[in-house]
Chains A and B, each alone.
Chain A
Amino acid sequence: MKDIIRLCFSLGAVCFCGAAALVYVNAKTLVPRQQAQQATLTKSLSLVLPAETSDTKTLAVAAEDGLSFFLACDAAGRPLAVAGQGSTRTGFGGEVVVLVGLERDGRIRGVMVTKHSETPGLGTKATDRKQLKSLWAVLAGKDEEVAFPPNDYLDAYSGRPAGEFVLGGGSSEQRIDGVSGATISSKAVLAAVNRVCDAYNKNHDAIWAAQ
């Protein structure tokens, strides 16, 4: 009996000290963790929104689960463009989150995937905007940083009016060709983009009226 109490006490003491350490570290890193998350979002937004943007507002419109809209304003406070973030869970590795930049006339400025768990080398062909740098160019100091590297699949959306896109079908405005070998990832990106476009079209007036 005495032995059991001693064992419980030792294990309890270790757990208590561990929990105390975690409480301390959690409190200390809470603000930096939120800042890191915010910095990632700000950086992604700056890539799909126009360069003249001086202020980005998070809108309360259409804020349902996994959907959010951001309004970009210039220095005078006039709305310039809108960015919509949408997610789907139908990716090959689960959740796929896209950020879609939309022009004043409802055309898509650019699409980028901000979060995914797709297979490297296969699914990522439909999600990643990654610039391939040459080792020799870097060593020679000749490499140039491209802020928004091209991706044939994601760039296919740019310049088209926000509507319902169809993979490999529909009218010429709706048709998007998937990446061979990455069909599930292509479909997931398409579904997330469609979700944003649908919400944008439904809430069009409310989004642009939000000041």
Chain B
Amino acid sequence: MSAAKEFLKGLWKENPVLVLMLGMCPTLAVSSSAKNALGMGVATTFVLLGSNVVISLVRKGIPAKVRIPCYIVIIAVFVTIVEMLMAAYAPPELNATLGIFIPLIVVNCIVLGRAEAFASKNSPWLSFLDGLGMGVGFTLALMALGAVREFLGAGTIFELQLFPKWEPFLLMKFAPGAFFVLGFFLAGMNMLRIRRARLEGRTYTPPELNCSQCNLCDLGKR
């Protein structure tokens, strides 16, 4: 039961992009098309899985004072592995578009955030599920954003044209479009939650932004 919960929380309740608001840099940069979003999501999921499991395995051997540099080294190793694997086996076109974003996974806050908030306190199995859930949640959120932006910005989804006569709204392909679409997604999330709360007969209170998801510093505990 608890294992399934650890996996499922990343998909909706604690979705890294739409709820925790982590990893905004890749979200805004790579969601310009559904295909890029999928590639970035899969690469990030692989890094999250690897780093979560390894950090969980070595969590007792690493002194608290040097834990952050150790985590960064472990994450950087996995990112470099992904980079090499993609250069060797991924379709050349995908590798060319995602190339400059892959090294940035090192500083993606989702990866370090989950290492610090979850993997450093839980068993490897639970950390694996947490990483998988968070990775899949990140991929799905990115793909949804990417599909909407690609459709509005180019009239295509996964590079397939939907309507022959479509005047593309190019702005949606650029950074402002990413902010617009993300804003509408967050508004939609809130609407759904308010409706659900009303059905259950309670008043919806938005989650407080009190750094409780993260313990990189002790500001949230004061």
A residues within 8 Å of B by Cβ?
A: 6-7, 10-11, 14-15, 18, 21-22, 25-26, 29, 32-33, 35-36, 39-40, 115, 117, 120-122, 130, 132-135, 138
Contacts and interface: CB of A to CB of B under 8 A. Distances in A.
B19 interface: no
A135 B66 CA distance: 52
B170 A33 contact: no
A25 B81 contact: yes
B98 to A, nearest CB: 12
A86 B65 CA distance: 51
Contacts of B84: 25-26, 29, 33
B52 to A, nearest CB: 16
A6 B63 contact: yes
B61 A10 contact: yes
Contacts of B80: 22, 25
Top 10 closest pairs, chain A to chain B, by CB: A32-B88, A135-B160, A18-B77, A29-B88, A33-B88, A40-B92, A14-B70, A134-B161, A29-B84, A33-B87
Contacts of A6: 63
Contacts of B70: 10-11, 14
A120 B32 contact: yes
A97 to B, nearest CB: 11
Given A115-B96, A132-B161, 8 more contacts: A7-B65, A7-B66, A21-B81, A22-B77, A22-B81, A36-B87, A133-B160, A134-B161
Contact of B161 (A36, A40, A120, A135): A135
Nearest to A13: B61
B100 A117 contact: yes
Contact of B62 (A10, A39, A117): A10
Interface of B: 32-33, 58, 61-63, 65-66, 69-70, 73-74, 76-77, 80-81, 84-85, 87-89, 92, 95-96, 100, 153-154, 156-157, 159-162, 164, 168, 170, 173
A190 B39 CA distance: 32
Nearest to B64: A7
Nearest to B95: A36
Contacts of A10: 61-63, 66, 70
A158 B70 CA distance: 56
B49 to A, nearest CB: 15
A189 B14 CA distance: 46
Contact of A121 (B74, B92, B162, B173): B173
A122 B170 CA distance: 9
B85 A29 contact: yes
30 contacts: A7-B63, A7-B65, A10-B62, A10-B66, A11-B73, A15-B73, A18-B73, A18-B76, A18-B77, A22-B80, A25-B84, A29-B85, A32-B89, A33-B88, A36-B92, A39-B92, A115-B96, A120-B32, A120-B33, A121-B154, A121-B170, A122-B170, A132-B156, A133-B161, A134-B160, A135-B156, A135-B157, A135-B160, A135-B161, A135-B162
Contacts of A14: 58, 62, 70, 73-74
A120 B173 contact: yes
B133 to A, nearest CB: 25
Contacts of B159: 130, 133
A185 B123 CA distance: 52
A11 B70 CA distance: 6
B170 A29 contact: no
